[in-house]
Amino acid sequence: MSILGKIFTWWDGATVGTLLNSWKTGEKVGEDSFGNTYHRARKGDRRWVIYKGSNDASRVPPEWHGWLHRTFDELPTDMLPAPRAWEKEPTANLTGSTGAYRPAGALERGGQRAAATGDYEAWRPSE
């Protein structure tokens, strides 16, 4: 992305101001499996994330979400146990994208619903 793009856009990665702030007053404390980096202020208690790619909060794993929102103070890499075999990797929110779930009958899938089966009877008030 061009330097002008970095200055004026906030939706695709960090802006120049955020990058300068991270370098000047912050310290990097960790990185997740998506490549997002997590920072905190050297003085004070401010915490933030610099996304790799588009700024989408659903791409923050649960353990780092807890750290960002002060559910716990320790870094997730220091306090959490190893993941269990049955745990799945977190997935991004696909709403509004081409990968979103679209059931049969949705307009994006042609809008053709299955025919009614006849097992429904409309309610009529008694007179």
- Output the pLDDT for position 67: 92
pLDDT in tens, 39-49: 998 887 889 89
Q: Tell me if 99 sits within 8 A of 91, measured CB to CB.
A: no
How many Å apart are CA 68 and CA 38, to the nearest integer?
8
DSSP conformational letter for 79: H
Taking residues 63-67, report their average pLDDT. Answer: 92
Which residue(s) pair with 31 in the sheet?
Answer: 37
Instruction: Give the domain ranges of the chain.
Output: 3-80
pLDDT in tens, 69-100: 999 888 988 887 888 899 887 777 888 888 89
Report whether pLDDT(6) > 60: no
> pTM here?
0.61
